[in-house]
Structure 1
Amino acid sequence: MSKSIKKIGVMTSGGDSPGMNAAIRAVVRTCAFHKVDCIGIYRGYQGLIEGDFKEMNARSVNNIVNKGGTILKSARSQEFRTVEGRKKAHSNAMEAGLDALVVIGGDGSFTGAMIFSQEFDFPVMGIPGTIDNDIYGTSSTLGYDTALNTVVEAIDKIRDTASSHNRLFFVEVMGRDVGHIALNAGVGAGAEEILIPEENLGKDRLLESLKRSRESGKTSSIVVVAEGDTTGENVFDLKDYVEQNLPEYEVRVSVLGHMQRGGSPSCWDRVLASRMGVKAVESLLDGKSNYMVGIQDSKITLCPIDQAVKGKTDIDLELLRVSDIMTT
């Protein structure tokens, strides 16, 4: 992988996240700064298989730093999971003169990049774009900060109506495997209880917490639930359980869903995307490959992409303790 890099492809893959456009902009403009050609690949790996390419320059990415989603679109490709599909993708990459690839996405996207690189000795670099913040090797992924702010704003509004009607609201947020959004947004929004996959507190503990809240004089409550929490079968099961055991509560459920992925990225995500995009391109030009760009202790770092795929993120246990104290 020591060949000279003269043309770099950039794609977004998997679920979209705020900050992806800012990262695309950074990759394209860093290529322009170093006089390297840049090709935008539409619809992720499926676009790579179908040759859905477009030449990009510094002006191609005007006015996108503030936009959510991804101008390059995204798609999940079953065909790329096959050897034949990856051969088509490589053939198109060679025909287009691509020397390296920047993949913006999550662990599934990085797995595809890693396999592609191994099979064809093709340089790749990953940028973590996912609101769940569940990628090992970085303290923050693109879109996570924006999603937190979106969730906190939504919970603040839900609390207004909860207080007005003396209601208990279960608010479900994204986080199938990890509870970073639920935990941080729950503390930030002052939730009375936070349910996450990493800590199954059980239904009895939930009831006791809600009873204490009621006895302490609280007339309304917010419980933030990560979608992967296993306290109940689902958030509606929890609602039914509380209504059966604490009939004094009027219970409602609000599932925030995909609104968490949308919206204009926060300043933090825009700056992070810009720093990561520059690092990704310049690392490829320095001859590096099979890394993910991350951030640790405010410094931009490189993590071997196989570690990013295989590693697991840890929940902040200190924040759990803070949450318990705040619900007193």
Structure 2
Amino acid sequence: MKKIGVLTSGGDAPGMNAAVRAVVRKAIHDGLEIAGIFNGYQGLIEGKIEQLQLGSVGDIIQRGGTMLRSARSSEFMTEEGRKKAVEQMKRHRIDGLVVIGGDGSFRGAFELVKMGIPCVCVPATIDNDINGTQFTIGFDSALNTVIDAIDKIRDTATSHERTFIIEVMGRDAGDLALWAGLAGGAETILIPEEGYNMDEIISRLKSGTGRGKKHSIIIVAEGVMSGSALSDLLKEKAEIETRVSVLGHIQRGGSPSARDRVIASQYGARAVEVLNEGRGGVAIGMQNNVVVDYELEVVFEPSDHSLDMELYKLSKELSI
């Protein structure tokens, strides 16, 4: 390896900039040239590539979003688009690529690996849904954003003696809803892995009311249903009035937490090391608080990522 590239793709996550910074500075420290690819895979196709220096990534470790920006690319999904991307890498003498993003970004990198391009993937998604790693960059920051919102909403719920439904992100994985619900003291948590039982939800709410409880917080991951749909069901089946807060993209923004800055730095640096070892088709992650690397194919296995169901059980036990 003489020169490597780095890009961010898919939805942004707090800590992406910290990962970019780590890749750039570790590469330069190890004697490599480093190129920044702007606007994800679409930027790679279009040749939006710039040489980066130490100062290029100064003062970004604390910033949310991604300085390299991100974009969806339908063109990259085609074989012709991927060929253009490879030609751009050859034109700019890029020997290997660090891809920072989620599942879709990893799948794009895997296609490049099949074409002979060494790629190392760094997991960055607030959903924490990448197989092979316990934690993704951005999850902790988003979690703290959600908890802060729960705390504020609970003040209003208490004042007005209401039940509030808070809808959080999580299409296929309930990590964000579960961790936020447990940390925020939610009475009910709905996650995609478990679905929901409306009779149980109603029974839990009425049980609380029966012992004099004046308010409740329900956390629902978007992959289960929307907050408004749940509100309508509670109104229809039990005449329970609720208020709904959809946190939406606020969960992706803001300054990354200290934990996300640290793991982003660790993941980014390890990605450079793996490329420098002459390896590609690799993902970086964490297992038992140790940074690891593993074959990229693991990410695409259907059942490797599993929610901590002990946490889910605990959340139910503590919200009686």
TM-score higher than 0.5 here? yes
Q: Is contact 1:49–1:89 with CA below 8 Å preserved after alignment?
A: yes
User: 1:2-24, CA deviations, whole angstroms, 9 ceiling, x for partnerless residues?
Assistant: xxx00000000000000000000
1:98 maps to what in 2? 94
1:169 maps to what in 2? 164
1:259 maps to what in 2? 250
Distance across 2 between alignment mates of 1:294 and 1:51: 29
1:142 maps to what in 2? 137
Report whether the alignment pairs 1:205 with 2:200. yes
Q: Is contact 1:10–1:39 with CA below 8 Å preserved after alignment?
A: yes
Distance across 2 between alignment mates of 1:100 and 1:63: 26
- Aligned-pair CA distance for 1:311: 4.3
2:63 maps to what in 1? 67
1:292 maps to what in 2? 283
2:260 maps to what in 1? 269
- Aligned-pair CA distance for 1:58: 1.0
TM-score, scaled relative to structure 1: 0.95
Aligned counterparts, 1:1-328, within 5 A: 5-119=1-115, 121-230=116-225, 234-247=226-239, 249-312=240-303, 313-328=305-320
Distance across 2 between alignment mates of 1:98 and 1:317: 43
- In structure 2, runs of 5+ residues without a counterpart are none
> Which AA in structure 2 matches 1:254?
S
User: 1:233-290, CA deviations, whole angstroms, 9 ceiling, x for partnerless residues?
Assistant: x32122122223443x431000000000000000000000000111000111011111
Residues 311 and 240 (structure 1), Cα distance of their counterparts in 2 relative to 1, 3 Å cut? closer
Q: CA RMSD in A?
A: 1.0
> Which AA in structure 2 matches 1:159?
R
> Which AA in structure 2 matches 1:216?
R
Classify the secondary structure of the residue corresponding to 2:31: coil
TM-score, scaled relative to structure 2: 0.98
> Which AA in structure 2 matches 1:127?
V
Q: Is contact 1:66–1:264 with CA below 8 Å preserved after alignment?
A: yes
Distance across 2 between alignment mates of 1:127 and 1:159: 36
Q: Is contact 1:166–1:250 with CA below 8 Å preserved after alignment?
A: no
Distance across 1 between alignment mates of 2:289 and 2:54: 27
- Aligned residue pair count: 319
- In structure 1, runs of 5+ residues without a counterpart are none
